[in-house]
Amino acid sequence: MNRSSMLAIAGALLLGASAQVLAQDKELNLYSSRHYQTDEILYDNFTKATGIRINRINGKEDELIQRIRREGAASPADVFITVDAANLQAADDAGLFAPTRSKVINDRIPKQFRGDGNRWFGFSYRARVIAYNKDKINPSDVQNYMDLASPKMKGKLCVRTGGHVYNRTLMASMIYNYGDERALDWARGIVSNLARAPKGGDTDQIRAVASGECDVAISNHYYYARLMASSKPADQEVIQKVGLIFPDQKGKGTHVNISGGGMLKHAPNKGAAQKFLEYLTSDEAQAYFANGNNEWPVVPSAKLDNKQLDAMGKFKVDQLSSGVLAQYTPKAQRFIDRAGWK
C-alpha cells in the first residue's frame, strides 16, 4: 500500500470518528424517576438551546439503578435523575456516577447540595414539615421534630412507613444533629405516639389530620402545596383545617432533601451530559425544575412564580450537607428497625 492510500484511509477513519463524536454530541440518554409536566418544557428548552435531542427512560428509582447496573459498560444512559439524597447515594455506592468537573456547576450549586467528589448534585430541595389540626393542637407544642416524640403527642401522630426514603433521610439528620442515643429515643417516641399503624403517602397523613384520625403528621411540604393549589372543595376543606409548621426554626432549621442527578460512569455522550447538567443550573431551568414539584431551587439567584410557596413564607434551612446526610442513611434504617417503626 502506497503512502497516498494510507493517508486516504487514515483520513476516512478520522472523519468517521469525528462524525461519530458529532452524532454523540447531538443526543442525550436520560434515565429519570421524575414525571412532572414542567420537566417536559425543561427538556424541550434544552433541545432548542443546544440542538441536543433527549431520549428519556422513565421508571422508579430502584428499578433504574438496577437497570444501569445490569447494563454495565454497555449502558446507553448518560444522566440519572431521581429524588432524595439516599437514592443518589445508592447509585453512587453502586459505582454508577462519574465526577463532573465543571466550573459552571461549582459556581452555581452550593456545596450543601453536592455529593462526595462532585459525582451527583441537587437541583431543587423540599422540606420535611409538621402538619397539625388547627382545632386540636396548639402549634407551640409542635415547633420541633423532637416535640413529636413528647408524651403530649401520645396517640396523636400519623406518619408513613419508617423505611420510606423520606423518613430514612429525616432519621439520618436526627442522628447527625442529636447523636445516636437521642435519635434512637426519638424514633421510639414516634412509634409510641402513633395514632394508627403507618400507611399511605404523605397526602394521606395530611388528610388523616383533617379528618380527626390523628392530630399531627409528618409530610413533605409539597403535598400540602398541591392541596393548596387544588380547585376541589374537599382539598380546600383540608387546608382550612390543617396548619403547617417548619420545624426547628430556633435551632438548626428544617430538614430538607433534594431532587438531583449526575453523569453516569459509562455515559457514551459525556459532553452532552455535562451540558445538560450545567443547563439545569441556569435560572430558567431551575425555575422549571423546582416548580415541577412545588420545590425550591438550589441556585439562590433563581426566582419562582409560585403562589403556594410564597404563601408558606421563608424559613430557616438545616445546613447539613446532602452528601453527609446520605452517608448516614444506612445507620438511620438500622435505628428505624430497632425502634419498631414499621
pLDDT in tens, 294-314: 999 999 999 999 999 999 999
C-alpha cell at 91: 447509585
Q: What is the pLDDT of residue 221?
A: 98
CA distances from 15 to 22, 50, 222 (A): 10, 23, 51
Mean pLDDT of 105-123: 95
Distance, CA of 270 to CA of 277 (rounded, Å): 10
| Whether pLDDT at 21 is above 70 | no
My answer on whether 62 and 107 are in the same domain is yes
| Whether pLDDT at 256 is above 90 | yes
- Band of residue 1 on the pLDDT scale cut at 50, 70, 90: low
- Band of residue 20 on the pLDDT scale cut at 50, 70, 90: very low
**Around Cβ 24, how many Cβ atoms within 10 Å?**
17
Q: Is the dihedral of CA 116, 117, 120, 122 positive or negative?
A: positive
The domain that holds 144 is classified in CATH as: 3.40.190.10
Q: What is the pLDDT of residue 144?
A: 98
Contact predicate 34/83, CB 8 Å: yes
CA distances from 219 to 120, 127, 131 (A): 25, 8, 7
Q: How many domains does the chain have?
A: 2
Confidence (pTM)? 0.89
Q: How far is CA 293 from the centre of its chain?
A: 10
Largest CA distance in the chain: 92
Is 61 part of a structural domain of the chain?
A: yes
Alpha helix segments (H runs only) across 26-96: 37-50, 61-71, 85-93
25 vs 226, more confident: 226
Grid cell 445490569 in the structure block, residue: 70
My answer on whether 140 and 248 are in the same domain is yes
My answer on whether 108 and 185 are in the same domain is no
Mean pLDDT of 234-241: 98
My answer on whether 83 and 162 are in the same domain is no
Q: Which residue(s) pair with 79 in the sheet?
A: 30, 263
Q: What is the pLDDT of residue 271?
A: 97
My answer on whether 141 and 232 are in the same domain is yes
CA distances from 84 to 123, 126, 204, 290, 313 (A): 11, 9, 20, 14, 23
My answer on whether 250 and 262 are in the same domain is no
My answer on whether 173 and 287 are in the same domain is no
pLDDT tens profile 200-222? 999 999 999 999 999 999 999 99
My answer on whether 172 and 111 are in the same domain is no
Is 109 part of a structural domain of the chain?
A: yes
Mean pLDDT of 152-170: 97
36 vs 182, more confident: 182
Distance, CA of 29 to CA of 195 (rounded, Å): 45
Strands 53-58 and 242-245: unpaired
Q: Is the dihedral of CA 228, 298, 84, 64 positive or negative?
A: positive
My answer on whether 277 and 157 are in the same domain is no
| Whether pLDDT at 3 is above 50 | no
Q: What is the pLDDT of residue 38?
A: 79
For residue 234, report the phi and psi dihedrals to the nearest 5 degrees.
Answer: -65, -35
Q: What is the pLDDT of residue 35?
A: 81
Task: Fill in the DSSP letter of residue 4.
Answer: H
Element (H, E) at 133: strand 121-133
35 vs 21, more confident: 35
Mean pLDDT of 317-342: 95
Is 14 part of a structural domain of the chain?
A: no
- Band of residue 24 on the pLDDT scale cut at 50, 70, 90: low
Is 3 part of a structural domain of the chain?
A: no
Is 13 part of a structural domain of the chain?
A: no
| Whether pLDDT at 329 is above 70 | yes
Is 228 part of a structural domain of the chain?
A: yes
Is 2 part of a structural domain of the chain?
A: no
My answer on whether 137 and 228 are in the same domain is yes
| Whether pLDDT at 70 is above 70 | yes
My answer on whether 210 and 332 are in the same domain is yes
pLDDT tens profile 177-195? 999 999 999 999 999 999 9
My answer on whether 120 and 155 are in the same domain is no
**Around Cβ 250, how many Cβ atoms within 10 Å?**
9
| Whether pLDDT at 92 is above 60 | yes
Domain that holds residue 92: 28-125+258-305
Is 84 part of a structural domain of the chain?
A: yes
Residues in the chain: 342
- Band of residue 95 on the pLDDT scale cut at 50, 70, 90: very high
